[in-house]
Amino acid sequence: MDVNAPYSSQRLSGTDAAFLYLERKEIPLHIACVAMFEEPIPFEEFVAAIDSKLHLVPRYRQVAASPPFNIGYPHWEYDPRFEIRRHILRITANSPGGEAELEELAGRLFSELMNRDKPLWEIYVVEGLAGGRGALIVKVHHALADGIAGASLLRIMLDSTPEGSHATSKPHFQPPAPPRPPSLTEALTSAIHGSLENLVTAEAGLLDIAQSLLTQSTQEGLAGLATLLPEIAAPLQRLPFNKPCGGVRNFCWAEFDFADVKAIRAALGGTVNDVVLTAVTRAIANYVKLHGEPVRNRLMRVVCPVSVRKDGSADSLGNRISFLPVTLPMHARNPVEHLQAIALRTAIMKSARAAELVGIAASWLGAAPPPAQALFWWGIPLVPMPAPILNLICTNVPGSPVPLYTVGKRMLAAFPHVPTGYELGVGIAVQSYNGRMCFGFTSDAAVVSDPTRLRDLLRASWAELCLAAGIRRPSAPKQAPKPRRAAARKPRKSVIAEPDAYSDVAPPPLQAKKQRKTA
């Protein structure tokens, strides 16, 4: 590509702009990840490597500029003061530099709003980790990219070979002269054009939905949707973490072998996302019970972001997503029945094209004047809801199937972060990488006092699914991505009392013992 080609600013889409309108200190809206490496990352060499490849993603040099009187959507303009060292920073983890210290550091960085006076991305090179490990903490604002595009950008900054991960020769880049600020008439014209685009998109979506009604799969999906209407229409109850958030974030992670997912699917059915949702739902159900609340006959609504990129390309920036809402039962007699119940509901919602309907609704909202949209998104956190619209966001993003490198250092794992806020005190993000499933748990400190508890319960529910699928010993990581601790860690105190056993499902270790005794 010609990095010095004539420049014209690009307007943000309504979805991209919404992430700017909605953000405030209680709701930091950036996607992020903690990437673990087998060795420390040499800072200067890393800066040189990223600098040599930055021309591949020109948006990384651009800021979001607002039109006069905010009458239209913001647009991307090159930052005349761009300096890469304002974006790549070195930071040291607290001693002894173990997993807990790295999690605390990530949570602290994820709590901070990004500076909109510069391009909306940051990379922190973490130093001082135990065990001779390295780490990068990457933040990209959601207005710049969604999870699919974010994973793609990570692959651009990394490389599939050690040799290609070093600095290369780069073309000379001369920042173009900033465009003339749009006049009020031009801004108004752009706003009208954007509204018409959204109207056309909504009408095209409705036409596509209408045509799909003739297909058997959609008709079956709508018939199945009718059977779920009592669940979908039922008012939701708040879970222990559905409370107003404060903005301070905690972050922790877990990882599993992707071979476990394949084995569970082969034995029990469902998709990869169904397996993930089952493990997450059972973990949350046990978390709810540990907080003294029942789960029998109780539902949980999970929203799963899905890509709507028609060409299958993950390299386009911006947000090309919709949301698949799924209402899931929190109680089942055993993990097999739970997986089957969840797989049935996700299949029905997909066949009924629920994500497309959500996208059409978003397009209709995008047809409103941008100032009205900004006011709408700004006011959402200020309006208390009598009942929650949803309980949890759980996103599953495919990552690289092969190892990635930077400056010759191999990445061991990448734990993703999904934004939380408003009354969503917990967010769970999943990313596959090199035969692993990496889970990232983000929680609000004002709402969740035991941030690692849900992670531990997920490990138990995952082991439970493995046992149900005939995997007697869930596979351990090929190489543990977390730094070895230099000192013993004291167990964290819980503010709640643990029951002797789960009321509906015994913990996996107890089940394993019973099975061995019976055998």
Q: What's this model's pTM, rounded to 2 decimal places?
A: 0.81
Q: What is the DSSP string of 146-204?
A: -HHHHHHHHHHHSBSSSGGGS--------PPPPPPPPPHHHHHHHHHHHHHHHHHHHHH
Determine the distance from the C-alpha atom of residue 424 to the mean position of all C-alpha atoms in its chain, rounded to a whole number: 13
| CA atoms of 219 and 213, how far apart (whole Å) | 6
| CA atoms of 277 and 261, how far apart (whole Å) | 12
Which CATH architecture does the domain made up of 10-173+182-189 adopt? 2-Layer Sandwich (3.30)
The answer to whether domain 10-173+182-189 and domain 194-396+440-518 are alike in fold is yes
Beta bridge partners of 10: 76
Mean pLDDT for each 10-residue chunk of the chain (519 residues)? Answer: 48 82 91 96 95 86 82 86 94 96 97 94 96 95 71 74 90 70 65 60 56 65 75 87 94 96 95 96 96 94 75 52 84 95 91 66 62 66 70 91 95 95 93 96 95 95 95 55 41 33 33 37
Give the single-character DSSP code of 5.
S
In this predicted structure, what is the pLDDT of residue 198? 58
Closest CA to 186 of 35, 329, 71: 71
Copy the structure tokens of residue 442.
């983000």
Is there a contact between 447 and 440 (Cβ–Cβ < 8 Å)?
no
| CA atoms of 41 and 126, how far apart (whole Å) | 8
Beta bridge partners of 33: 138, 416
Domain locations in the chain as residue ranges: 10-173+182-189, 194-396+440-518
In this predicted structure, what is the pLDDT of residue 226? 78
Determine the distance from the C-alpha atom of residue 293 to the mean position of all C-alpha atoms in its chain, rounded to a whole number: 27
Which CATH architecture does the domain made up of 194-396+440-518 adopt? 2-Layer Sandwich (3.30)
User: Would the CA dihedral through 285, 288, 294, 297 be positive or negative?
Assistant: negative
In this predicted structure, what is the pLDDT of residue 228? 80
Is there a contact between 64 and 116 (Cβ–Cβ < 8 Å)?
yes
